Chains A and B, each alone.
Chain A
Amino acid sequence: MFKSNFSKLALAAGAVGLLLFFLTCGERKGGVQVSGGGDLAAIAEARGLTPADLVAAAKTYMPTGRHDEYYLFGSGGHSGQVLVIGVPSMRLLKVIGVFTPEPWQGWGYSNETREVLKAGSPAGKELNWGDTHHPALSETNGDYDGQFLFINDKANARVAVIDLRDFETKQIIKNPLSMSDHGGTFVTPNTDWVIEGGQYAMPWSGEYAPLDQYKEKYRGMVTFWKFDRAKGRILPEQSFALELPPYWQDLSDAGKLVSDGWIFMNSFNTEMATGGIEEGNPPFEAGASQRDMDYLHVINLNKAAELFRAGKTTKINGFNVLPLSVSAAEGVLTFIPEPKSPHGVDVAPDGNYLVISGKLDPHATVYNFTKIKAAIGSGNFSGKDEFGVPILNFDDVVDAQIELGLGPLHTQFDPNGYAYTSLFLESAIARWTMGGDWTQKHGKEPWTLVDKVSVHYNVGHICTAEGDNVNPDGKYLVSLNKWAVDRFGNVGPLLPQNFQLIDVSDPRGAMQLLYDMPIGVGEPHYAQMIKADKINSWEVYPEVGWNPGTQSKDPNGIMPGQEKVERNGKKVEIWMSAMRSHYNPERVQVNKGDHVIWHITNGERAKDATHGFGLPYYNVNLSLEPGETQTIEFVADQAGVYPFYCTEFCSALHLEMTGYLLVKP
């Protein structure tokens, strides 16, 4: 009786394990046998685990069959994909194919998925990689709603829409104005707009202009993509961009609550340096770091949208653009000096405070939106920049500057009035108190650094649970570290990135580092963490014959028994079914030179009964999830016999799930 109760307790609570460790430490004979686990103290001693390690293990270990409390949606960096990770276990749940073909999901091999990838490619080129940076979960009233995920590709200035009903990319859209982007994606509180800010200024329309015409011809931009939630698509014709000075725009964020309708965006290289190290000019790294201040861009989005609707935009590359002169004159765009070369601009959950950190300045600078709005309203400007954009006085709108440490970058929040800022150079996370109304929550000195925890190493973005919406959970913080150096076993000169999980649930205690997760697919930038119960994805597609591209029934989807092959001249169209453990038909006969259109439907209704379809030489692999229909199309340009097979181990007779494509000479 005692023993079975005890084993339950010991298994359930790591804290109990810790207690046992203390009680039995150094006293091997007194070690407690945990059923199925052995002697806890002896294991800890043999593995060199400290009591803190045991607590960390108990806080993160997920017994088989248990599900995580949060989903972390992380960018996959230059893998071009999105990573889905469970928190606190830090188990990789899925890699969503976005900008890069991904064979497991058949992403980029069927007509449906190739169309999505192609839509993001400039005319005449097929891009097959991306540099995903900032995922943004869709929001309702400023809170994550678990319906959609957006992410940008910095390398080619693209934005993707992922539907979280099936965790599949539905749309990729190429920005018609810029080659690169960085200040995206972020969404407005009801996901009416998806923000994509540019990065490196360039001549628009893809024109050529020499660098000595930089000020005249080069421009920055921010694009506001209109999102239609019912369609699950961005509507380019209802979207528009702002023409911006050729500073390099950086991160952005959308206002919320009091600042709803406003957009904030950092910039650097307001020096407008054009490089040229090879000609004896200062390199960009120096040239773009000369001034003490750069400009925070404050954008009145509602006003901009009003002007867009009133027809004040012009067309550039067929896209609606609000000219810089209009923005400056109509009060759409206002600048505020910000400490040089800033990186993150993060809007606090109350919408009133903006936290900006510059990698070259040891402070977090806190701006007060109420003061910004008042200053703009009263027209209290210190002057204009050379493009005519009014500039506010720094001192009029800044509430605090908190010295946090070296290289502060990005800030996230918790519900108790604490902010967390990554310190790149110091490889640490700083926890500090917010002021204003937040002071009542934490009851401490406002705007004060209270704690730091080391991370390994070179942290970029951080992510607390729901930490950038109006209702942050705090609780866990994931530190997205650029370097791992010595954290993992050697795998050659290319090292994985390191996601570190930190417990920030106790505002009175210290932050505790819990777990290291290597990321071996790319360099992730930002991540967002959402409560798992907000994600209501499908277990199988709603009906047999489902087209995930349209999220509706595919006219070419069939039920088992409706299989057929039709020949029309040189066009052969096949409607095939896939069921455990066979395709129907199994023999597909065409002639060399035939144009083959091949629809395959998985007729299964069981969860996880996915079939693949791998076809040699013709470079096809499909993932046919239960109910899904996909179409491939190719010209049978080489005679021969091509055995196709199910690439998912679907059943005991998986090897027999095969067939022959016979291409007659």
Chain B
Amino acid sequence: MKEMDLIVGPRIPEEMLKNERKRFLLPTLFLGAAGILLLISIFLPYWRMTLHAPQYPGGLQIQLYVNQVTGDVDEIDGLNHYIGMRSMKDAAPLERSLSIIMIAGIVLLAVGAIYIHSPVAAFFSFPAFLFPAIFLGDLYFWMRNFGLNLDPKAPLSSSVKPFVPPIVGTGMVGQFKTVATWDIGLYLALLASLLIVIGLYYHRKAYKPLLEARLKGK
């Protein structure tokens, strides 16, 4: 019971809440907004890659969501088989299947931090804060995994050596210029991280005095 109190932190006295509504509203707003942004980002692409080549005047494009890849997936897979790259369908199967539940959990924790009036709130919102980095790290892992593990028996294996496709910026593969860009979903997630930092700042401002007062009182 005592440990639980420590984690959850002190409750706000009724009088104080009345008089200093803004002080306690701010962390709630920022952390809540972060959670909402992260939820919205599920429905938006995080990353896209555009391929330019003479015979594709309109270019080819894929959009990466946390749980799916859309766009010219079949066409790019078809082209990738020439250099011995595996199909995109084989990439990140676990991440794709768990991502929605994972983000829901992360968001719940971050929103839960609103009710935790102790430094533990930082731990609760930490996964949400880290999410963009987790996404990019995982993306890099799979790019590396795919790019470095080309089938040595593929038709073009002699001219296209294993490589790590960039997660942002341009690259060249054969006649294809690839342009990787971060997309709206990832920017929302990054914004959510920023909001978490701001939210925690206000959180500290709001609850640290309360916590100190309680410790003193004890």
Contacts and interface: CB of A to CB of B under 8 A. Distances in A.
- Asked if A and B bind, the verdict is yes
Chain A interface bracket (under 10, 10 to 19, 20 to 34, 35 or more): under 10
A604 interface: yes
Interface string A418-447: 000000000000000000000000000000
B155 interface: yes
Contact of A605 (B56, B75, B79, B155): B75
B135 interface: no
A653 B82 CA distance: 9
Nearest to B58: A607
B212 interface: no
B93 interface: no
B78 A604 contact: yes
Interface in A538-583: 579-581
A652 B79 CA distance: 11
A656 B155 contact: yes
B74 interface: yes
Contacts of B74: 605
Contacts of B78: 579-580, 604, 606
A560 to B, nearest CB: 9
Contacts of B56: 606
Interface string B59-73: 000000000000000
A579 B78 CA distance: 8
Nearest to B73: A605
Interface in B147-204: 155
A348 to B, nearest CB: 43
Interface string B72-116: 001100110010000000000000000000000000000000000
Nearest to B79: A580
The dominant DSSP class at the B interface is helix
A520 to B, nearest CB: 29
A653 B78 CA distance: 13
B72 to A, nearest CB: 8
A43 B56 CA distance: 35
Contacts of B79: 580
A605 B82 CA distance: 17
A656 B81 CA distance: 14
A579 B155 CA distance: 14
B155 A653 contact: yes
A19 B217 CA distance: 96
A366 to B, nearest CB: 51
A180 to B, nearest CB: 47
Contacts of A604: 78
A606 B82 contact: no
A606 B155 contact: no
16 contacts: A579-B78, A580-B78, A580-B79, A580-B82, A581-B82, A581-B155, A604-B78, A605-B74, A605-B75, A606-B56, A606-B75, A606-B78, A652-B82, A653-B82, A653-B155, A656-B155
Given A580-B79, A604-B78, A653-B82, 11 more contacts: A579-B78, A580-B78, A581-B82, A581-B155, A605-B74, A605-B75, A606-B56, A606-B78, A652-B82, A653-B155, A656-B155
Query: Nearest 9 pairs between A and B by C-beta?
Result: A606-B75, A653-B155, A605-B74, A580-B78, A605-B75, A579-B78, A653-B82, A656-B155, A604-B78
